[in-house]
Chain A
């Protein structure tokens, strides 16, 4: 069977779950296997119907101990649920949760784990997974050494289209999570949201700045533009190393890998280190003073000019045209 593990925020499934179902279907259809969704949570029945036409079977893994993600509770519940079942693939979203849980499940279920998957194909019954390595400078394609063996597939957010409604009319079944609170060793105590920031990996629009921004104050202009477009601000390594922006917004091989709908690079030359983190964006736009900057080679649209002069005019133009934020 092809399994998909849903990811929830609070008690709501996240959008990336639909992408995981989309990826799961790329396996289920050619392999002619059922696509099954595992919905963990304290009250998963409340949103099971969202997925009725997207999976063949929906398994509710219900337990109060699964209300907030903690890796040992989730590992325990998913392992107990899957250990006696046939697993050709288990698709997990490549979020902070999936990256934390995937390797643990790989050990407990004794099946290999493949990360940062951006492509899935079935060739003569073999599962071929394409994944980003070396910060996306290279794509590696792998297959399971054991031709019928299982694999945990962690997918890059936004690399797969969300599952459309299919012909299936999914059935919903409940499963016991079988958790023992005393055996749990990880206690989640709280969550602190970073000051008013949208997370880079979830933002539909990223306005990113590099050395050309010139100062921490220079990022205000980028913030204004990002707010207008309903997005957030990113930065290159040189802007972070200069202390203008915190490392949490760094895009690149030693920072975040981002795949927004629109990536606007301002004053970023486009070193390979940086390109590694953003070339998966749907649209790449660039503003740079140097017409030979490598960023223009990977851009759909570029403006050669001083960003401090271009952006204020751009903001006025966008306001005048009544630009609507990305929903």
Chain B
């Protein structure tokens, strides 16, 4: 039994209430093209960030084992409904969308502050995030939320066991897995391998279409858009030069010998 005083409400429950943060990203197979100082958005296929999907799946597994409510939240300019509906179709209970024109162009620093503000108004035991998004690849939001909310962070987890108020998580580090122990509330970020996300069933997809999304905006959170000015300004976007004018030979004993010689010369 967890007995905890939070925001003046005495909660007596063994349930684990979970918030999962979601981001909409271009599909990793997409061809990303530079347009002006940004990326051409037209024609891109958008998906739920794959690492966030591990977060949603883990939340649903914890709910099945411990009970509790799973809420997903996203913050940004238009288009976030798709990723919220995907999570609803997978089986989460509630979806929150911080939708505000003032968030257009906001980077991970601003988005973290907005999410922290919204989350701090809700009782929760656990926050799950993807370890990073596949577009910016900053891996910032999870750590920033932990810092802003003053709760422990365990990043890039591949294993998780919750028992009561404590948990044990396996973090992916160079060469292996590190076991870390801490107590809830906490922020955990999901690494690939944590679970296999379920495919939404047709019934779930139909139900998700009718479920209500709760909308918030910056004024309702008491945030002035000017406070969200990015602390890092973009100077340019460029394509890396990845092409190499290498030698390509058909396989025969001579070419393989030459290939071996090349390997030997560089190592």
Task: Assess the A205–B137 pair: CB atoms within 8 A.
Answer: no
Task: Assess the A71–B192 pair: CB atoms within 8 A.
Answer: no
Interface centre among A103, A106, A149, A187 (most CB of B within 10 A): A103
Query: Interface digits, B226-267 against A, CB 8 Å rule (1 contact, 0 not)?
Result: 000111111111111011101111110101110111111011
B137 — which chain A residues lie within 8 A by C-beta? 115-116, 132-135
Partner of B259, one of A144, A273, A301: A301
* A287 to B236 CA separation, bound complex (whole angstroms): 35
Counting CB contacts under 8 A, is B147 at the interface?
yes
* A284 to B147 CA separation, bound complex (whole angstroms): 40
Measured CB to CB, the nearest residue on chain A to B109 is A112
* A104 to B154 CA separation, bound complex (whole angstroms): 11
Task: Assess the A317–B192 pair: CB atoms within 8 A.
Answer: no
B179 — which chain A residues lie within 8 A by C-beta? 188-192
Counting CB contacts under 8 A, is B205 at the interface?
no
Interface centre among A198, A306, A313 (most CB of B within 10 A): A313
Contact A303 to B251, CB < 8 A, known contacts A104-B146, A285-B259: yes
B148 — which chain A residues lie within 8 A by C-beta? 107
Counting CB contacts under 8 A, is A1 at the interface?
no
Report A167-194 residues with CB < 8 Å from chain B CB.
185-194
Counting CB contacts under 8 A, is A53 at the interface?
no
Counting CB contacts under 8 A, is B204 at the interface?
no
Counting CB contacts under 8 A, is A255 at the interface?
yes
Counting CB contacts under 8 A, is B74 at the interface?
no
Task: Assess the B256–A145 pair: CB atoms within 8 A.
Answer: no
Name the segment of B8-16, B95-103, B165-173 touching the other chain.
Answer: B165-173
* A143 to B231 CA separation, bound complex (whole angstroms): 9
Task: Assess the A323–B264 pair: CB atoms within 8 A.
Answer: yes
Partner of B251, one of A102, A134, A306: A306
Measured CB to CB, the nearest residue on chain A to B151 is A185
Question: How far, in Å, is A96 (CB) from chain B's closest CB?
Answer: 4
A30 — which chain B residues lie within 8 A by C-beta? none
Task: Assess the B34–A138 pair: CB atoms within 8 A.
Answer: yes
Measured CB to CB, the nearest residue on chain A to B155 is A100
Measured CB to CB, the nearest residue on chain A to B51 is A254
Report B11-34 residues with CB < 8 Å from chain A CB.
26, 28-29, 31-32, 34
Task: Assess the A134–B135 pair: CB atoms within 8 A.
Answer: yes
Counting CB contacts under 8 A, is B138 at the interface?
yes
Partner of B264, one of A254, A273, A302, A321: A321
Contact A142 to B257, CB < 8 A, known contacts A115-B137, A305-B250, A326-B267: no
Counting CB contacts under 8 A, is B201 at the interface?
no
* A25 to B239 CA separation, bound complex (whole angstroms): 26
Report A74-107 residues with CB < 8 Å from chain B CB.
75, 95-97, 99-104, 106-107
B147 — which chain A residues lie within 8 A by C-beta? 75, 103-104, 106-108
Contact A103 to B247, CB < 8 A, known contacts A141-B235, A194-B175, A205-B267: no
Task: Assess the A143–B235 pair: CB atoms within 8 A.
Answer: yes
Task: Assess the B176–A191 pair: CB atoms within 8 A.
Answer: yes
Task: Assess the B238–A138 pair: CB atoms within 8 A.
Answer: yes
Partner of A321, one of B109, B173, B261: B261
Counting CB contacts under 8 A, is B140 at the interface?
yes
* A102 to B137 CA separation, bound complex (whole angstroms): 14
Counting CB contacts under 8 A, is A262 at the interface?
yes
Partner of B253, one of A193, A301, A313: A313
Counting CB contacts under 8 A, is B139 at the interface?
yes
Query: Interface digits, B169-211 against A, CB 8 Å rule (1 contact, 0 not)?
Result: 0111111111111110000000011000000000000000000
